[in-house]
Amino acid sequence: MTDRSAPSASRREFVGGLALGLGGLVASATMAGAQSPDIPNAPTGRPQPELETTPPGPADQRLGWAVIGLGDFAQGYVLPALARARASRVAGLVSGNEDKLRAVGSQYGVPEAARFSYDRMGDMRDEAAIDVAYVVTPNSTHAELVVKAFEAGKHVMCEKPMATSSADCQRMIDAARAADRKLMVAYRAHFEPSNVKLKEMLDAGELGDVLFANSDHHRPLEPSLPRDQWRMKKVLAGGGSLVDIGIYSLNGLIWFLGELPNRVSATIVQPPGDARFAEVEDIAAAQLEFPSGKRIHISSGYQANKKRIDLFGSKATAVLDPATAYGGNRLRVTQPEGTLEVLVETPSAEQFTREIDHLSHAIREGGEVLTPGEMGLRDLRLIEAIYRSAEIGQPVDLAPDMTMKG
């Protein structure tokens, strides 16, 4: 099963032109009577091609983004994505490290006036070139920084998990409403091409009825890396593997199934004697039940290496493996006649530019975002219920708003 679009006519014509060779092109131009005043018998210029992707707009027509936090993920993925974006551009930076501000600011052409320390974030209000703030910092800092960005009059993209408590999520939503600004949570898988294709197939009924799904997200936690050191501190991370990568399993399966659970049962594991897990869990496993009778199972961990989603339908089974990597995600579908890979033309890395430009377009056009703050609040309530179930060793019933019953 493939999903390849046929090449555009302009591409076919271009390939055909190459096959003729330069001599053939010159001959064709000469036969048509085309002449150049400088080069005898030179071919005329080709017409404007039909581009497969929209090129970036002029700088003054792209919304300006300030990246808050200049760690590994921000510098490795967020800032390069902004540099490639079509409706967005880098316009500001926030960091507590002057060396980072200077180096990254020079790299991306951010003027000194648009480089801020955390205690000067309020000054962003006077920087008209900044429209959006993207918070890419440890989880426990999200709420405070998001509120500051709203107070400075900016729209906000916030990394997941949205916060370390549902109360902080609600505070962020309230701040967005008070500022009349948009709040989006960076659930990038909603813009990843293979994930989007699977969602389309589900909605079209190509898998039939899906009554069970499974997702496992695991990665090694490495204490020697600065990006992992804060993840071992509960006060900064809010939890262990569940909030870090297990949230991809949780959010992704609910998105695919289009239904909210009403009960959760969970366990967590903190291996004794391992300093990495003195404060946070290594493994989290949970089963969620839905009013329709659907069941999903999710797991997360900090020692193996896996990012996989399985959907079991009455017509077909779909597997994303890897499902939520930064690149190279693959979708395979198994039907009675066999297993085939579903190919998508767009690279997985486009997920970053797509989610960034999605918010910029929503701001420009006044539309709603696909992954709003309310989704982040819902997921934090579910995470709290998962931890609660593991703590008491019993299932936890959920109210329609995802708060715990009883």
Tell me the CA end-to-end span of the chain in Å, nearest whole number: 48
Give which of 153, 160, 129, 132 is closest to 68, Cα–Cα: 132
Please, is 308 exposed, middle or buried when counting C-beta atoms within 10 Å of its C-beta (0-12, 13-18, 19+)?
Answer: middle
CB 107 within 8 A of CB 136: no
**Cα 4 versus chain centre, distance:** 23
CB 374 within 8 A of CB 184: no
Amino acid identity of 96? G
pLDDT confidence of residue 194: 98
Catalytic residue among 148, 154, 160, 182: 160
pLDDT confidence of residue 44: 54
Catalytic residue among 248, 302, 307, 387: 248
Give which of 291, 249, 298 is closest to 398, Cα–Cα: 291
CB 213 within 8 A of CB 290: no
Amino acid identity of 366? G
- Give the dihedral of Cα atoms 79, 83, 88, 91; nearest 10 deg: 60
387 is catalytic: no
313, β-bridge pairs:
210
Please, is 264 exposed, middle or buried when counting C-beta atoms within 10 Å of its C-beta (0-12, 13-18, 19+)?
Answer: buried
Query: Which tens digits make up the pLDDT trace of 257-300?
Result: 999 999 999 999 999 999 999 999 999 999 999 999 999 999 99
The helix (H) or strand (E) run that includes residue 147 is: helix 142-151
Distances (CA, A) of 404 to 25, 157, 371: 71, 27, 23
Distances (CA, A) of 79 to 72, 168, 182, 356: 10, 27, 21, 11
Contacts of residue 186, Cβ cutoff 8 Å, sequence gap at least 6: 134, 157, 158, 159, 160, 355, 371
- Give the dihedral of Cα atoms 199, 200, 204, 209; nearest 10 deg: -10
Distances (CA, A) of 164 to 13, 51, 73, 155, 249: 55, 43, 19, 21, 18
214, β-bridge pairs:
297, 310
In this prediction, residue 176 has a pLDDT band, given cuts at 50, 70 and 90, of very high
pLDDT confidence of residue 27: 33
pLDDT confidence of residue 10: 34
Q: Which residue has the higher pLDDT, 171 or 9?
A: 171
Averaged confidence pLDDT in the chain: 89
77 is catalytic: no
In the structure, how many helices (H) and strands (E) does the chain have?
13, 15
pLDDT confidence of residue 49: 53
Contacts of residue 172, Cβ cutoff 8 Å, sequence gap at least 6: 142, 143, 146, 147, 156, 158, 162, 163, 183, 373, 376
Contacts of residue 365, Cβ cutoff 8 Å, sequence gap at least 6: none
Query: Which tens digits make up the pLDDT trace of 100-109?
Result: 999 999 999 9
Q: What is the Cα–Cα distance from 110 to 396, expressed in whole angstroms? A: 49
Q: What is the Cα–Cα distance from 208 to 110, expressed in whole angstroms? A: 50
In this prediction, residue 37 has a pLDDT band, given cuts at 50, 70 and 90, of very low
Q: What is the Cα–Cα distance from 39 to 300, expressed in whole angstroms? A: 66
Contacts of residue 278, Cβ cutoff 8 Å, sequence gap at least 6: 232, 270
Please, is 164 exposed, middle or buried when counting C-beta atoms within 10 Å of its C-beta (0-12, 13-18, 19+)?
Answer: buried
- H helices present in 152-307, as ranges: 166-179, 193-203, 226-229, 234-237, 241, 247-257
Taking residues 37-51, report their average pLDDT. 52
Q: Report the predicted TM-score, pTM, of the whole model to 2 decimal places.
A: 0.86
pLDDT confidence of residue 406: 77
